[in-house]
């Protein structure tokens, strides 16, 4: 076997080995990359935008807290101003949680049972106003931006119970008999639509179950404060830093 032939074989073997090594390395490089779909890119962009919005909100909150601290620093210099600042904060908190009388524009809803004669075998419960009916109306009013709500003079809070008991309902541990008068303060047009627009709970009660519902817009509605006790037996406040 001549030297030229041996040299050609050697070159061929080296070329094959080099090709194998190159293809193996290329495969490894490809495996190191993960294919990203267009949907993944969109989701990532959305996450980034959400983080940006969160950062903006946090910056705004920090600025608000800085302003509050500045107000406290200024008020501390003057004891009378500091006392007035605390009084105003307490009043604002009481206002927000329903412990202050309020007034403003809104709607008045009068709802009562359907007093038609009941035929034999007919379900009378269908013609009565139940706690669930009232709860649905309250939820619709809240969703429409109601700022204060009362039922027969009872202020509705987040913890107010509305329970049925025969022909009456119990609100804030007070027994209320029909007709039920619901007052809500907020944008009158939005509140009115929340009760009377097609397919709303108020519309279904009136048009399908024939429950008597009257809705009136008013420029000035008075809603009294909540007079019950607000107690917490299990929930405890979390101190800053915990």
pLDDT tens-digit map of 156-187:
988 888 888 777 888 888 899 889 999 999 99
pTM exceeds 0.95 for this model: no
Query: Does the structure show a pLDDT above 70 at 40?
Result: yes
Tell me the two tokens of residue 196.
Answer: 């009377």
Question: How does pLDDT run across 76-114, given as a tens digit for each residue?
Answer: 666 667 677 778 878 877 888 888 899 999 999 999 887
> What mean pLDDT is predicted for residues 119-123?
59
Say how many C-beta atoms besides its own lie within 10 A of residue 237's C-beta.
7
In contact, 156 and 150? CB cutoff 8 Å: yes
Question: How does pLDDT run across 14-37, given as a tens digit for each residue?
Answer: 566 665 555 555 555 545 555 567
Exposed/middle/buried for 212, CB within 10 Å: 0-12, 13-18, 19+?
middle
Cα–chain center distance at 174: 28
């Amino acid at each position: 076997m001549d030297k030229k032939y041996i040299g050609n074989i050697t070159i061929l073997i080296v070329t094959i080995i080099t090709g194998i090594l190159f293809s193996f390395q290329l495969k490894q490089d490809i495996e190191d990359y993960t294919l990203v779909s267009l949907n993944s890119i969109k989701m990532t962009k959305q996450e980034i935008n959400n983080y940006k919005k969160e950062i903006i909100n946090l910056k705004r909150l920090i600025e608000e807290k800085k302003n509050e601290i500045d107000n406290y620093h200024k008020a501390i210099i003057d004891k009378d101003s500091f006392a007035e600042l605390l009084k105003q904060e307490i009043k604002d908190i009481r206002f927000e949680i329903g412990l202050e009388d309020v007034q403003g524009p809104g709607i008045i809803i009068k709802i009562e049972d359907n007093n038609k004669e009941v035929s034999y075998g007919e379900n009378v419960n269908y013609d009565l106003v139940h706690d669930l009916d009232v709860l649905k109306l309250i939820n619709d009013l809240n969703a429409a931006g109601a700022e204060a709500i009362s039922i027969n003079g009872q202020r509705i809070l987040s913890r107010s119970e509305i329970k049925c008991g025969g022909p009456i309902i119990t609100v804030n541990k007070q027994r209320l008999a029909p007709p039920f008068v619901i007052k809500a303060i907020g944008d009158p047009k939005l509140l009115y639509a929340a009760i009377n627009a097609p397919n709303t709970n108020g519309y279904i009660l009136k048009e399908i179950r024939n429950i008597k519902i009257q809705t009136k817009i008013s420029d000035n509605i008075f809603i009294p404060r909540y007079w019950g006790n607000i107690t917490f037996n299990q929930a405890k406040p979390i101190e800053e830093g915990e």
